[in-house]
Structure 1
Amino acid sequence: MTNQTNQTLSAAPAYSSMQPADAPRRSIAVVILLGLWLVIFFAALFAPPLLDDADATHANAARHIALTGDFVTLHVNGIRYLEKAPLPYWLDAASFRIFGFNTFAAHFPEAIGVLLLALLGFYWASRAFGNRTGFYSGLAILTSIGVFLFTRIYIPEVLLTLFLSISLYCMLRALEADSATNPGAPRPASGTWAFVRSANRTFSPATYAYIMWASLALAVLTKGLVAIVFLLGTAIVYLALTGEYKNWRALKPLTGTILFLAIAAPWHILAGLRNTNGMNGHGFFWFYFVNEHFLRFLGKRFPKDYNKLPGYLFWSLHIVWLFPWSLFAPLAALPIFRALRRSRDLDKKRRRSFNIAGTISDLLLIVVALVIQQKLHLEYVEFLVLAFAFVLPFQYLRRRHRAGLPLLDPASQTFAHRTTLLLSLYAALVLLFFSVSTNQEYYTFPAYLALLVLLAASLSRAEDTFDTDASSRLWIILAHLAFMLIGFAVAATLAYGLWSSRHLAFIPDIGDVLAHRDVGNYTLSMSHFFDLTDASFAALRLPAGLAAITFCFGPSIAWMLRAKKRHLAATTALALTSTVFLIAAHIAFVRFAPMLSSKKVADKIQTLEATGAISRDNTVLLYGDQAYGSSIPFYLGRQVDLVEGRSTSMLFGSYFPDAPHIFLSNADLLKIWGTGDRKLLFVPLEKRDIVDQLLGNNKILLQETSGKALYTDRPLNQPSLQNHP
């Protein structure tokens, strides 16, 4: 009875121990993945130029390191920049020293991070589920919309994901290798274990454990303490559920912690010692640990220059970020719901009387959930998601306990099942954490590898059972149907836009088409999508046409191949459709460059200086926060003054005694305007009305691009060059 019950309640899906007949050879798979990376990511390193806001701000911090050799205190425009961990800037500084100060060098470390992430996903999934799943995992990482979008700017998420994923993998391998050599530990069953067993001795268990701690330290130096929360939180739950806590020594907690501190602690200590007595007497320790970690999580960070996605958007947008692979998400959920249904049926048979203890525990769960909802001010969507995330696993584990079974079946803990459990727990923790915390769209990027590997494994498994499992076959068909409908809808929309703009002239600067005075201060990274108008299609004919053709034919080709049961070819066709679309998206992104970057303004200043139209002894001023034109100081290679710009990332560092006097008020601007050396004032679109009222006609327009203006306070030395491009 126990064995039968155990099999009934097993939540882990069955994985084949045999390699699929149509699995690609590993060498060919790696070549294909490398080719996709070159086409999608490496080719995109040369354009567009660095964007204003975070992209160029982070590049400025790395530029300071490369020029000064100060690896402890980050600086942006001469001001201490203490809110970020240093590793991404160290890598960028090294890239600048090798390749020079340009766009390619700024984004090269991040592109390498994407490649390594795809190869790690391929390697891990191949070891756990077979070469075909590994190939699908690499394809998914390289062709997902979210991975593409959130690596267009230099943010640390892809590096954080890489280091955390390495830590998770090494933790699993350390425990696995220890279980294989420890007679007292539960031994995994045959099946997938047999496939990976030959490679188990790549490193010793101790080596895997130390790599785990070292990679965790690098993750902390990349993004901060959240890396510890994600890894340790996942590890604790995983060890408790699997019973692997008995093998805790395999993870080398004492010596591993010493290694972790040896790598992660020195920078934090030095940064704290070198940055004291800042705003309100606070230094690095308060600002970095309290303000940037705990207060940010609670939504009380100072200054409040961030936003939070509504709950319904936070969850639903992951369908977009993981597209097109998110279409197969129901396949990943099938084994879960089947296990819950079986456990419920068995629980009903075993419970022949009213269970007072069970009812009380259910009521307590509801009360606790309501208290959490009130205390954290959660939206109802977030509350429902959190409730399902906690109640369903609790009910399942309670039913196993009533049946007299262990929480998880030790006999089913193959490397594939362990991988599935570990990645599921990790992805759930990341998503739930940021559903409660303040967030941006890309904050959940660290969960992408885990989610995409699980989706790839589910798709590969459904392909294997396509002829025998009606549910799997149905969801694959529905996914392709959705892909075709979305493709036709996108193609029709783009075709309509192209047809509507057929009589409009091509405009090189799309920002001139989209420029308007009421754009507002965007605080979410994807807000500029709302700037698209019908007139913009005249400037986007090439990428729009390419995307329309791709979505018109790509999904249909993938479906025809699937109908012929050529599963590998069908899934590859889906990935290639996404690849061509991402290439079209990058072309469109380059077309938006004048609107998103101020490099043209820096080029104009350098041209005027080179031709003698203005003296090189001039003062460049930015009106508003430095994020409005952060690419200008990068491409000029010098510090600029800020008018009414003592805000956001510049605020805390401006109160240190050695902060340069770069912050001016409106009154200061009026006082220096037209006196001393020449003044060059950059004004973003959002501040044009204010500057028009402030300076009136006492200014000369040198350049206007995408609504952004460059003014000077006196005529040029050579008036004929005033309209120089």
Structure 2
Amino acid sequence: MTNPTLPESLASHSVLPASAPRRSTAISILCGLWLIIFFASLFRPPLLDDADATHANAARHIALTGDFVTLHVNGIRYLEKAPLPYWLDALSFRIFGFNTFAAHFPQAIAVLLLALLGFHWARRAFGDRTAFYTGLGVLTSIGVFLFTRIYIPEVLLTLFLCTALYCLLRCLDCNQADAISIETPQKHVISTGAKRSRETSAFSFSPRTYAYVMWASLALAVLTKGLVAIVFLAGTAVVYLALTGEYKNWRALKPFTGTILFLAIAAPWHILAGLRNTGGMNGHGFFWFYFVNEHFLRFLGKRFPKDYNKLPDYLFWSLHIVWLFPWSLFAPLAAIPAIRALRRNQALPRRGRPTYLGDVLTSFVLVWIAIFLKIKLHLGSTESVLLVLAFVVPAAYFRKRHRARLPIFDHAPRSFAQRTTLVLGLYAALVLIFFSLSTNQEYYTFPAYLAILMLIAASLTRAEDTFTTDKSSRGWIIFAHVAFMLIGFAVAITLAYGLWSSRHLAFIPDIGDVLAHRDVGNYTLSMSHFFDLTDASFAALRLPAGLAAITFCLGPAIAWLLRSKRRHLEATTALALTSAVFLIAAHIAFVRFAPMLSSKKIADKIQTLEASGAISRDNTVLMYGDQAYGSSIPFYLGRQVDLVNGRSTSMLFGSTFPDAPPIFLTGGDLLKVWGTGDRKLLFVPLEKRDDVDQLLGTNKILLQETSGKALYTDRPLDR
């Protein structure tokens, strides 16, 4: 029996499906995982330096001043980001106060909503078990967990974009269903009543409502990340409508009134920000900096200032195995239907006269287009090959089917499951290719995670249903489990070795003192801090390392044992729970890194000295270097700090406006004010300690040191 909830390409070899948890049970399990993994981690560690606390400072300014138009960080205009994440955080601060929990709470809620959206979408398209697996994938993937530890907008962008895509499909689906119900004779409707009742039993809205929710979600996505949201949604929608022929139903998407709704939501902030922020560097204002510099020049790698980097192409692609682990181990299952379709395409008969010259000319033109883009975008070799394949393979596929006088697809994607498969594939491919061409960080492709995880979940469900009949699917599932066990044992052995080698070392609360320190100012990739790990750090990581080692010893083995007994739901759930326990261990380790990644202890020291009367509250706090070195200090102090040699990166453009406060000092300025007037407190990151030693010599008093970061003052304590 074929599972009616799967697309034909995913269900061609299916048998009776395995069991699936009831909807209420599945949602309860997912909410429980969210509480344990994401909600429980909201309280610790404190806000981290760099992007985490910088963005929290921008939201704090909104909460205190009520200025929802112009973002400010440390008193300087911060014009490079869209405002919605900061609005949500400002609201959270007004409700819960200025603390770590409030800063990360909107992100945690977004993760939960993303998991529930994936559950709902997958349940309608592919069935209950795929829905459950999709929710598990969102909550237990390493990348989703890792890239929500810091305050960045990617999870919100993903939520709004995927909501818009879902509404796009539902709008067209409802419109198509209405057309079928009108055109189909009554007796045919009765004969398929059981299937129709299942399809329409879930609560749904009218096509018009889905269309307007799509436009509203797109507007919120633009307010979250900028114009890239339009690129992703419009690019996916245009290609999808062209391939399926559903462009004929374009009126159902309400393009005219929907655009008015989109502009009503997205345009006001952009207009107000442009009008209120003029007269910056070289006469430029918000419009040039935000639209030209932060969008087009960033994509081309010519953004000013150049405080970013780009992953090598081999890392950009291969690291997705890590970000989507452990579910990425099942990714080959999603490629099986596509491979089979290509094989069928190769076996098609050719009708009419061969046109080899046309094939050669078409390939020649496409390859030269790829070469031109390679030169203009400065692509690497791997990216260039992928770009050529992205042109040539689809062109060859479509040309082959055109010659055989066949439609683009063997079976037009009529069902919601088939349409979902196509939309998710197009969307994920667009996101990945786009950021492989532009400058990027590891987390930039986060918006593709839900789409990839849902496709993997649907393919895994199909493979489980055909485990005894389909050798290809069974082989890939076995391969995934073997790989999981090997990786698990390798990780467990590595951790066990680290624990054994550090067994005689004393526990050191400040792990930063036993790490290899490098120039954090040059860490333009977000995961660069992992290069600082040393053997001695295991003494401070015994609990999380031991928990992770035990988990990777037992979890993969239990999952395989259940799989070998054909208990597929339990096996996949065991795999997810293994990842969940590992993420809990990872969070414990993350907390241990707090003294190195956050400067809250420095802020606490200043507040303690002020409260005890050891220093007067009339003091000036300075930071040496860029504000990213210690951005958590102004957040926890709740006041503006001066920067010595810190007019750079995110502070640079805003500092050129005439109303910018005079917070930027040179080394010479510091020498002039040091020891004069009110007390000076100077925060110095480890990377700048040598510079400050040369500048101030012994004319400074050390008040606090943590993970190599120091707090100096220019005179003895009052008592």
C-alpha contact (below 8 Å) 1:127/1:195 kept by paired residues: no
Task: Tell me which residue corresponds to 2:4.
Answer: none
Change in Cα spacing, 1:76 to 1:23, as seen in structure 2 (3 Å) is same
Q: Secondary structure at the match of 1:295?
A: helix
Task: Tell me which residue corresponds to 2:685.
Answer: 684
- Measured in 1, the distance between the counterparts of 2:194 and 2:662 equals 64
Task: Tell me which residue corresponds to 2:489.
Answer: 488
Q: Which of residues 1, 11, 23 is equivalent to 1:26?
A: 23
Task: Tell me which residue corresponds to 1:722.
Answer: none
Question: What is the Cα deviation at residue 182 of structure 1?
Answer: 2.1
Task: Tell me which residue corresponds to 1:3.
Answer: none
- Measured in 2, the distance between the counterparts of 1:74 and 1:412 equals 45
Task: Tell me which residue corresponds to 1:6.
Answer: none
Q: Secondary structure at the match of 1:302?
A: coil
Q: Equivalences for 1:195-594 in 2 at 5 Å? A: 197-199=199-201, 202-347=204-349, 350=351, 353=354, 355-409=356-410, 411-514=412-515, 516=517, 521-594=522-595
Q: Aligned letter for 2:230?
A: I
C-alpha contact (below 8 Å) 2:14/2:462 kept by paired residues: no
- Measured in 2, the distance between the counterparts of 1:191 and 1:74 equals 56
Q: Tell whether 2:126 aligns with 1:124.
A: no
Question: What is the Cα deviation at residue 355 of structure 1?
Answer: 2.5
Change in Cα spacing, 1:711 to 1:201, as seen in structure 2 (3 Å) is closer
Change in Cα spacing, 1:191 to 1:32, as seen in structure 2 (3 Å) is farther
Q: Aligned letter for 2:646?
A: G
- Measured in 2, the distance between the counterparts of 1:383 and 1:708 equals 43
Q: Secondary structure at the match of 2:622?
A: strand
Q: Which moved more, 1:510-519 or 1:687-696?
A: 510-519
Q: Which moved more, 1:509-518 or 1:16-25?
A: 16-25
Q: Tell whether 2:49 aligns with 1:52.
A: yes
C-alpha contact (below 8 Å) 1:124/1:169 kept by paired residues: yes
C-alpha contact (below 8 Å) 1:179/1:186 kept by paired residues: no
Q: Tell whether 2:106 aligns with 1:105.
A: no
- Measured in 2, the distance between the counterparts of 1:278 and 1:410 equals 57
- Measured in 2, the distance between the counterparts of 1:632 and 1:195 equals 59
C-alpha contact (below 8 Å) 2:509/2:540 kept by paired residues: yes
C-alpha contact (below 8 Å) 1:312/1:381 kept by paired residues: yes
Q: Equivalences for 1:99-178 in 2 at 5 Å? A: 99-178=96-175
Task: Tell me which residue corresponds to 1:85.
Answer: 82
C-alpha contact (below 8 Å) 2:215/2:258 kept by paired residues: yes
Partner deviation per Cα, 1:223-244 (whole Å, 9 max, x = no partner): 0000000000000000000000
Q: Which moved more, 1:174-183 or 1:683-692?
A: 174-183
Question: What is the Cα deviation at residue 351 of structure 1?
Answer: 7.5
Change in Cα spacing, 1:183 to 1:553, as seen in structure 2 (3 Å) is closer
Q: Secondary structure at the match of 1:304?
A: coil
C-alpha contact (below 8 Å) 1:15/1:191 kept by paired residues: no
Partner deviation per Cα, 1:219-265 (whole Å, 9 max, x = no partner): 00000000000000000000000000000000000000000000000
- Measured in 2, the distance between the counterparts of 1:410 and 1:345 equals 16
C-alpha contact (below 8 Å) 1:20/1:132 kept by paired residues: no
Unmatched segments (≥5 aa) in structure 2: 1-6
Question: What is the Cα deviation at residue 398 of structure 1?
Answer: 1.6
- Measured in 1, the distance between the counterparts of 2:70 and 2:460 equals 47
C-alpha contact (below 8 Å) 2:624/2:688 kept by paired residues: yes
Partner deviation per Cα, 1:97-125 (whole Å, 9 max, x = no partner): 00000000000000000000000000000
C-alpha contact (below 8 Å) 2:18/2:465 kept by paired residues: no
Report the RMSD for the aligned CA atoms in angstroms: 2.0
- How many residues are matched? 708
Task: Tell me which residue corresponds to 1:723.
Answer: none
Question: What is the Cα deviation at residue 357 of structure 1?
Answer: 1.4
Question: What is the Cα deviation at residue 437 of structure 1?
Answer: 0.4
Partner deviation per Cα, 1:255-283 (whole Å, 9 max, x = no partner): 00000000000000001111111111111
Task: Tell me which residue corresponds to 2:670.
Answer: 669
Question: What is the Cα deviation at residue 390 of structure 1?
Answer: 2.8
Q: Secondary structure at the match of 2:219?
A: helix
- Measured in 2, the distance between the counterparts of 1:16 and 1:283 equals 60
- Measured in 1, the distance between the counterparts of 2:260 and 2:129 equals 39
Q: Secondary structure at the match of 1:306?
A: coil
Q: Aligned letter for 1:235?
A: A
Change in Cα spacing, 1:359 to 1:702, as seen in structure 2 (3 Å) is same
- Measured in 2, the distance between the counterparts of 1:317 and 1:221 equals 28
Q: Which moved more, 1:512-521 or 1:293-302?
A: 512-521
Q: Secondary structure at the match of 1:337?
A: helix
Identity of aligned residues (%): 79
- Measured in 2, the distance between the counterparts of 1:17 and 1:465 equals 5
> TM-score, length-normalised on structure 1?
0.95
- Measured in 1, the distance between the counterparts of 2:289 and 2:682 equals 32
> TM-score, length-normalised on structure 2?
0.96
- Measured in 2, the distance between the counterparts of 1:294 and 1:629 equals 30
Change in Cα spacing, 1:85 to 1:193, as seen in structure 2 (3 Å) is farther
Q: Tell whether 2:73 aligns with 1:76.
A: yes
- Measured in 2, the distance between the counterparts of 1:622 and 1:192 equals 69
Unmatched segments (≥5 aa) in structure 1: 1-9, 719-725
Question: What is the Cα deviation at residue 11 of structure 1?
Answer: 8.7
C-alpha contact (below 8 Å) 1:670/1:695 kept by paired residues: yes
Question: What is the Cα deviation at residue 388 of structure 1?
Answer: 2.4
Q: Which moved more, 1:392-401 or 1:577-586?
A: 392-401
Q: Which moved more, 1:352-361 or 1:610-619?
A: 352-361
- Measured in 2, the distance between the counterparts of 1:186 and 1:482 equals 52
Q: Secondary structure at the match of 2:10?
A: coil
Question: What is the Cα deviation at residue 515 of structure 1?
Answer: 5.1
C-alpha contact (below 8 Å) 1:113/1:159 kept by paired residues: yes
- Measured in 2, the distance between the counterparts of 1:409 and 1:325 equals 29
Q: Secondary structure at the match of 1:642?
A: strand
Q: Tell whether 2:638 aligns with 1:641.
A: no
Q: Secondary structure at the match of 2:524?
A: coil
Change in Cα spacing, 1:487 to 1:21, as seen in structure 2 (3 Å) is closer
Task: Tell me which residue corresponds to 2:3.
Answer: none
Partner deviation per Cα, 1:75-112 (whole Å, 9 max, x = no partner): 00000100000000000000000000000000000000
Q: Aligned letter for 1:107?
A: H
C-alpha contact (below 8 Å) 1:15/1:192 kept by paired residues: no
C-alpha contact (below 8 Å) 1:17/1:192 kept by paired residues: no
Change in Cα spacing, 1:185 to 1:245, as seen in structure 2 (3 Å) is farther
Q: Secondary structure at the match of 1:569?
A: helix
- Measured in 2, the distance between the counterparts of 1:46 and 1:623 equals 29
Change in Cα spacing, 1:416 to 1:539, as seen in structure 2 (3 Å) is same
Q: Secondary structure at the match of 1:182?
A: helix
Partner deviation per Cα, 1:609-638 (whole Å, 9 max, x = no partner): 011110000000000000000000000000
Q: Which moved more, 1:335-344 or 1:482-491?
A: 335-344
Partner deviation per Cα, 1:261-312 (whole Å, 9 max, x = no partner): 0000000000111111111111100100000000000000000000000000
- Measured in 2, the distance between the counterparts of 1:228 and 1:408 equals 27
Q: Which of residues 13, 16, 19 is equivalent to 2:10?
A: 13
Change in Cα spacing, 1:412 to 1:268, as seen in structure 2 (3 Å) is closer
Q: Which moved more, 1:387-396 or 1:216-225?
A: 387-396
